[in-house]
Structure 1
Amino acid sequence: MSSGTDGRQAELRENLQKARDRIGAACRAAGRAEDSVTLVAITKTFPIEDVRTLAALGVTDVGENREQELKAKAPDTSDLTWHFVGQLQSNKARSVVRLAQVVHSVDRKSLVSALSKAAVAEQKTMRCLLQVSLAEYGSAEAATGTSRGGVTPADVPELAAAVAEADGLELGGVMAVAPLGADPDEAFAALRAVSSRLRSEHAGAGWISAGMTGDLDAAIRQGATHVRLGRALLGTRPPLG
């Protein structure tokens, strides 16, 4: 084994321990059990070797936001739970359903239909999280009219009903990205309120996927059950090929 490989493994081990320590501290500060939050390692642009190293260190949940990378990595690491976290085109639904177990970015009925058709064809159940737009809480996004994507909070009940009624799909909860310029506590508190209303109609939809490297502490304070970490674990991303 090369010294370069040894060095990368040591780096990932150290980064993972720091991330786990940070999650644990945030849980304790919020009065939550440390095992109430699942770490999802986002391996965008990083090689399959990094995925295998993280798995050997005990990581069980891994996420990708591009279908091409999911296809390149998931077949060789089928013992992991794969999460698709990026914007998903309907024509890529079959591929994602075949390879992943969770989709975090369900934001429209046409995608629900595509995922349901694919799940039935693959004879599996796909867990779906509704991506909620929190754009109104981000001053930068409000000023520019941009958005990180997602369905408005007002439209969540209708989309949730579509997922709950679709064959092959399981409504798992909600996901959001804190918008640019936002107070993450304020934004994630809004997401928590959306989640609470959702669970009043769909008791099993308790997942809250929120928080990344820069704002995971706020997300955990506001009830996140899953945090999505890339840079904190893997370092600065190499450019897309």
Structure 2
Amino acid sequence: MTGEEDRAGRTTREDELRGNVAQVRERIRAACAGAGRPEDSVTLVAITKTFPLEDVRTLAALGVTDTGENREQELKQKAPDAPGLTWHFVGQLQSNKARSVVRLAQVVHSVDRLSLVGALSKAAVAEEKTVRCLLQVSLASYGPEGAETGMSRGGVAPGDVPDLAGAVAGADGLELGGVMAVAPLGSDPDEAFAALRAVSSRLRSEHAGAGWISAGMTGDLEAAIRQGATHVRLGRALLGTRPPLG
């Protein structure tokens, strides 16, 4: 798009993203105000799955410097060419992809089994870095039967969190950061995220530094913030309709 076209009133992608960021920031501000929380208590993570590297760079220029990917392949394609960002891996992770993810991401949101803890620890030691890990908690019991789809699949049962947390806390190269969850489709997000908040509270009684709660997406970020989310993961609200996977 040329400068003349811009002056003619056509909206550029940068303009679109700037407007979306402003709207999202206002939603976060209003939700924090309603919950009696400071706005800076919530970190916005842009989920850029299927969107191009140029969008990642534009969001970074607009101040959104926490970026999340669901797939190891896309993380490998984007992260090396967008330095200076905090990269979050938020998708289901196969143990054989652990080193690739650890090489590029600072945070893994989807730790849900002991075998993955071992793979991540081995990779972190090999890469000589420390990776912050969040335990993905299953909230399946708070939604209609069969409601779990996509990213909400997986996750450790709330009762199994202490054992998994102990494994992460004791693993070389890993730091226990907190919990993550997705509210099942058809659930009451306040109820689901209140359950996650309770899990987080119990976790912090044993691991005081594990205070992150990664919860809330485009449709339910307000409920997540009401229930204590420290990180919200937004794709559609920031970037628009998602292109099909290649």
1:174-208 deviations in whole A, cap 9, x for unaligned? Answer: 00000111100000000000000000000000000
Q: Once the 2 structures are TM-superposed, how far is the Cα of residue 149 of structure 1 from its aligned partner?
A: 1.5
Could you tell me whether the CA contact under 8 Å between 1:140 and 1:181 is conserved in 2?
A: no
> TM-score, with normalisation over the residues of structure 1?
0.96
Match of 1:240 in 2: 245
What secondary structure, in the 3-state scheme, does the structure 1 residue paired with 2:182 have?
A: coil
Match of 1:213 in 2: 218
1:3-14 equivalences under 5 Å are 7-14=12-19
Could you tell me whether the CA contact under 8 Å between 2:148 and 2:184 is conserved in 1?
A: no
Alpha-carbon distance between aligned partners in 2 of 1:55 and 1:116, rounded to the nearest angstrom: 29
Q: Would you say 1:159 and 2:164 are equivalent positions?
A: yes
Match of 1:78 in 2: 83
Match of 1:168 in 2: 173
- Amino acid of the structure 1 residue aligned with 2:236: R
Q: Once the 2 structures are TM-superposed, how far is the Cα of residue 132 of structure 1 from its aligned partner?
A: 0.1
> TM-score, with normalisation over the residues of structure 2?
0.94
Gaps of 5+ in 2: none
Moved over 2 A (4+): 1-6, 140-144
What secondary structure, in the 3-state scheme, does the structure 2 residue paired with 1:82 have?
A: strand
Q: What is the percentage of aligned positions where both structures have the same residue?
A: 83
What secondary structure, in the 3-state scheme, does the structure 2 residue paired with 1:173 have?
A: strand
Equivalenced residues, count? 239
- One of 226, 234, 237 as aligned partner of 2:231: 226
Q: In 2 relative to 1, CA 26–143 (structure 1 residues): closer, same or farther, beyond 3 Å?
A: closer
Alpha-carbon distance between aligned partners in 1 of 2:11 and 2:45, rounded to the nearest angstrom: 23
Match of 1:186 in 2: 191
User: Over the residues paired in the alignment, what is the CA RMSD in angstroms?
Assistant: 1.6
- Amino acid of the structure 1 residue aligned with 2:153: R
Match of 1:148 in 2: 153
Match of 2:130 in 1: 125
Q: Once the 2 structures are TM-superposed, how far is the Cα of residue 142 of structure 1 from its aligned partner?
A: 6.4
Alpha-carbon distance between aligned partners in 2 of 1:59 and 1:171, rounded to the nearest angstrom: 24
Match of 2:107 in 1: 102
Could you tell me whether the CA contact under 8 Å between 2:136 and 2:181 is conserved in 1?
A: yes
- Amino acid of the structure 1 residue aligned with 2:157: T
Gaps of 5+ in 1: none
What secondary structure, in the 3-state scheme, does the structure 1 residue paired with 2:146 have?
A: helix
1:18-51 deviations in whole A, cap 9, x for unaligned? Answer: 0000000000000000000000000000000000
Alpha-carbon distance between aligned partners in 1 of 2:90 and 2:119, rounded to the nearest angstrom: 16
- One of 63, 66, 71 as aligned partner of 1:61: 66
What secondary structure, in the 3-state scheme, does the structure 2 residue paired with 1:139 have?
A: coil
Could you tell me whether the CA contact under 8 Å between 1:134 and 1:178 is conserved in 2?
A: yes
Match of 1:111 in 2: 116
- Amino acid of the structure 2 residue aligned with 1:182: S
1:8-27 equivalences under 5 Å are 8-27=13-32
Match of 1:89 in 2: 94
- Amino acid of the structure 2 residue aligned with 1:36: S
Q: Once the 2 structures are TM-superposed, how far is the Cα of residue 60 of structure 1 from its aligned partner?
A: 1.3
Match of 2:39 in 1: 34
What secondary structure, in the 3-state scheme, does the structure 2 residue paired with 1:228 have?
A: strand
Could you tell me whether the CA contact under 8 Å between 2:168 and 2:175 is conserved in 1?
A: yes
Could you tell me whether the CA contact under 8 Å between 1:136 and 1:142 is conserved in 2?
A: no
Could you tell me whether the CA contact under 8 Å between 1:140 and 1:180 is conserved in 2?
A: no
Could you tell me whether the CA contact under 8 Å between 2:108 and 2:131 is conserved in 1?
A: yes
Could you tell me whether the CA contact under 8 Å between 1:128 and 1:170 is conserved in 2?
A: yes
